[in-house]
Amino acid sequence: MRILLIGGTGTISMAITKKLFQEKKHEIYLLNRGNRIKELPEGIISIICDIEREEAVKQALFGIHFDVVVDFIAFTPNQLERDYRLFYGKTDQFIFISSASAYQKPPKDFQITEDTPLDNPYWEYSRNKIVCEEFLMKKYHEEGFPVTIVRPSHTYDERRIPLGVHGKNGSYSVIHRMLCEKPVIIHGDGTSLWVMTHSSDFAEAFVGLLGNTKAIGEAVQITGDEVLTWNQIYQIIADVLGVPLHPYYVASEFLDRCGFYDFKGSLLGDKSNSVLFENTKLKRLVPEFKQKIYFKNGIQNAVQYILTHPEYQIKDPKFDFWCDEVIRQLDRTAESILKATAK
């Protein structure tokens, strides 16, 4: 197949790019601004261009018809309208990367299927994804635009350790706190259920949707089958690091109120809710898919990679101070209440 990947070098997309290349039966085009280009296998056709420059993209792709186009970096309705103008009549399948965070929050049922309502009042990111889906499905029903919608959940790779509460510089600041044996903030009481998916597993499932005519006009969620509590997630990370875990539990609502981080979206609109994804539809469309990398193995690989690559060891003193202050203030408040009520 002739496949165009827009973006193609992120957490999810790099794994897909490499998986497609390994199959050695596709003509792969990659359109982006040159990010991580040195990591790409030889033989991939790289088009260095900003997708936001619509006329430049038209010229760069002039006369080329694709079997599949995948946009990994479309987040707003305006961007999808642009993609529709660029690729209507020029591809046999257009795949939009939506998000499982678009599902109803709070959920009425922790078991999530593709038919679960889309409604997230907490996170603008998710609401934009919903509007994008609605636009594309309208174009599919009215004009036959060959869309497939994919909804990933929490996906990670060797460069990224997935966590619930972290700062703007990523998760290493939390890993550093663990290594220093400092308390680590866990949202809620740590017992809510969550699903992590390694990018290589995601790629295995995703590639099975490419050129799959049964997936046209469909929304499909791609996640692993392993379900963990947040307590288990943090404990596995600590065990791999070889340090004791010192959890400090804080309500998600409180974290939202006292943080300048987007915890309203990322926690209340996503990770604080117990979810279990039903992957029956995915396995019907891609029957060969089976999760291979479970969380412990994925984290072992990620920890080894990050601890041997200093460029990913980005400390965040501001977040570290914020964690210390949240813990200090909550402890002081608890002591004050105890003293006041003991009189």
Work out the average pLDDT over 34-45.
77
- Find the range with the poorest average confidence among 34-43, 132-141, 183-192, 329-338: 34-43
Cα distance between residue 238 and residue 242, in whole Å: 6
- The matching CATH number, chosen from 3.10.580.10, 3.40.50.720, 3.10.50.40, 3.30.565.10, for 93-330 is 3.40.50.720
- Residue 33: name the closest of 46, 50, 17 by CA: 50
Q: Where are the beta strands (DSSP E) in 252-316?
A: 276-277
pLDDT in tens, 136-180: 999 999 999 999 999 999 999 999 999 999 999 999 999 999 999
Local structure of 67: helix, strand or coil? coil
- Find the range with the poorest average confidence among 10-19, 39-48, 116-125: 39-48
- What is the token pair recorded at 314? 């980005």
In this prediction, residue 35 has a pLDDT band, given cuts at 50, 70 and 90, of confident
At residue 39, does pLDDT exceed 80? no
pLDDT in tens, 274-297: 999 999 999 999 999 999 999 999
Q: What is the pTM of this model?
A: 0.93
At residue 343, does pLDDT exceed 80? no
- How far the first Cα of the chain sits from its last, in Å, is 76
3-state helix, strand, coil in the chain (%, to 5): 45, 20, 35
Average pLDDT value for the chain: 95
Q: Where are the domains of the chain?
A: 93-330
User: What φ, ψ does residue 218 adopt, rounded to 5°?
Assistant: -120, 155
At residue 93, does pLDDT exceed 90? yes
pLDDT in tens, 225-267: 999 999 999 999 999 999 999 999 999 999 999 978 899 999 9
Burial of 87 (0-12, 13-18, 19+ CB in 10 A): buried
pLDDT of residue 44: 86
